[in-house]
């Protein structure tokens, strides 16, 4: 019960309501409210310490590794496609 009454929870709850009311994205609301936003994970942080902890976290690093793997696969596919057609 204490979690739901906390200051950060109330901020995130208000942000979610803003997103729904504006019909926008989490990123747009985060930018307009000067919060820190991780585009890869779709995570909004209310302070730099929390954002730094997110960037060091296991889930974020898994998403980064997946994104790198996808980019590498796309690059290899593009190279192979160009090689085959020439």
pLDDT single digits (tens) 46-77: 889 999 999 999 999 999 999 999 999 988 88
- What is residue 2's predicted lDDT score, i.e. its pLDDT? 79
**Model-level pTM?**
0.57
Q: From CA 66, how far away is CA 20, in angstroms rounded?
A: 29
Q: Yes or no: say if 41 and 54 are a contact pair by the CB < 8 Å rule.
A: yes
- What is residue 36's predicted lDDT score, i.e. its pLDDT? 86
Residue percentage of the chain with pLDDT more than 70: 71
Q: Yes or no: say if 16 and 31 are a contact pair by the CB < 8 Å rule.
A: no
DSSP string covering 3-30, please?
A: HHHSHHHHHHHHHHHHHHHHT--HHHHH
- What is residue 66's predicted lDDT score, i.e. its pLDDT? 94
* Number of domains observed in the structure of the chain: 1
Residue percentage of the chain with pLDDT more than 90: 27
Q: Which residues pair with 66 in a beta bridge?
A: none
Residue 28: which domain range?
2-85
């Amino acid at each position: 019960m204490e979690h739901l009454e906390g200051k950060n929870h109330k901020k995130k709850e208000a942000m979610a309501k803003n997103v729904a009311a504006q019909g926008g994205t989490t990123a747009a609301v985060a930018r307009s409210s000067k919060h820190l936003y991780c585009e890869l994970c779709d995570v909004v942080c209310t302070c730099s310490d929390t954002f730094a902890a997110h960037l060091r976290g296991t889930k974020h690093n898994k998403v980064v590794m997946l994104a790198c793997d996808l980019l590498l696969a796309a690059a290899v596919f593009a190279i192979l496609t160009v090689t085959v057609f020439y």
